[in-house]
A and B are shown apart, each in its own frame.
Chain A
Amino acid sequence: MTSPADLSVVDPELSAEEARFADLIAADSRIEPRDWMPDAYRKTLIRQISQHAHSEIIGMQPESNWITRAPSLKRKAILMAKVQDEAGHGLYLYSAAQTLGITREEMMDQLITGRARYSSIFNYPTPTWADMGAIGWLVDGAAICNQVPLCRASYGPYGRAMVRICKEESFHQRQGFEILLELMQGTDAQRQMAQDAVNRWYWPALQMFGPPDDQSPNSAQSMAWNIKRFSNDELRQRFVGMLVPQAEVMGVTLPDPNLRFNEETGEYDMSEIDWTEFEEVLAGRGPANAERIRRRREAHEDGAWVREAAHEYARKQAERELAGAVA
């Protein structure tokens, strides 16, 4: 693969710091927080990392919906650990974004006032237990496809956060697969529940890779900066290629009658994705957009007095220590 970074190298008009940045990118090295970087690079990263963090935090909700109702104690523990991991991943990512000069408070404010975006997949509801399986298998599966290449993102703190996240997420997709497998081996009602969930989550999961390459406005620049390593369509193909044999093992049907491997192209042919639905959900007209933001805002506002109390206590303690030192 030729490096898309080649596009940006050796322009005699570059200033010394611009040239140094271009050299680092061309060498596939890492940019660290105190390095000079173009404003657009910084803005792109703040946008991408904070959206990623918001997605982890909002993504806790559709699953936490089932923690209290999980059908066995083992599943309850697994689900709780998974949702807890998502809080942790949100924290790693907010910290990475923070190194670019934005506070978590600002990011949280953008989120709860509806000014920030997050993965639109979390605006779908989770009406049945099988949704826990489908989210793990399809949504986390798609997320992992997207995230593994991000471990090599050119911005150091982002890449390091992603390494940690990918390592921890290795259990998320597996537990989803196992939930569905168990359901498919269960009663008729359980099998139906599993197939219904796969039907509902399959297309939104494919949409997680973003619009087709020829309609993806920011992709080319992100690839040139080594933030993004593979195109949306490449990743989507790779994901479907992994799903097909897994679906066979489980005995679920992927809801695309046109899905088949094309020997000539070496890729999967599939039906056209309904991007109007994607645009609708992205524009705030999904089933659960309002609910997700409302709940995050409530948690944040209900917790304000606790955060203030801890802050005030720390201030008083510091004062006391100072007074103690003087006396």
Chain B
Amino acid sequence: MSTPGEIGTEAWPLWEVFVRANRGLSHVHVGSLHAPDADMAVRNARDLYTRRNEGISIWVVPADAITTSDPDAKGAFFESPAGKNYRHAVYYTKSEGVKHL
């Protein structure tokens, strides 16, 4: 399933841009741009998305290479964790007040 925005008829394809703001942080999606190829995409991303010291590392990904979950399957995909409270620390109340737990 293709990504929103990717339309195969354009000469310069769409790229999604991810920037790492600092060491120790993940790359975060910041937006997209057009470029003829990966080499130019990463340079355009540098010029467009890091003009104000916003990052120290950039990923570019062709928008059509991203697979997304089906929005119509939201229930099946994302509602199952509800009720599985034992995955969360707050579920375990008896240890309250005990140090280092």
Contact = CB atoms under 8 A, between A and B. Distances in A.
B51 A88 contact: yes
Interface residues on A, range: 20 to 34
Nearest to B34: A104
Interface in B54-101: 68, 71
A311 B37 CA distance: 8
B10 A103 contact: yes
B5 A88 contact: no
Contacts of A313: 36-37
A71 interface: no
Contacts of B34: 104
A103 B33 contact: no
A164 B31 contact: yes
Contact of A103 (B4, B9, B31): B9
A317 B12 CA distance: 14
Contact of B33 (A32, A91, A310): A91
Given A95-B32, A164-B31, A168-B52, A33 B37 contact: no
Interface residues of B, number: 21
B5 A310 contact: no
A95 B30 CA distance: 11
A324 interface: no
Given A98-B14, A310-B37, A311-B36, A103 B51 contact: no
A105 interface: yes
B5 A98 contact: yes
Given A98-B7, A161-B31, A311 B48 contact: no
A75 interface: no
A271 interface: no
Contact of B71 (A34, A101, A160): A34
A278 interface: no
Interface string B1-41: 00011010111101000000000000000111110110010
Given A91-B33, A164-B31, A310 B7 contact: no
A307 interface: yes
A308 interface: yes
B48 A91 contact: yes
Contacts of B9: 103, 105
Contacts of B48: 88, 91
11 contacts: A32-B71, A34-B71, A36-B71, A85-B51, A91-B33, A101-B4, A161-B31, A307-B11, A310-B36, A311-B36, A313-B37
Given A35-B71, A313-B37, 7 more contacts: A34-B68, A85-B51, A95-B5, A98-B7, A101-B7, A104-B10, A310-B37
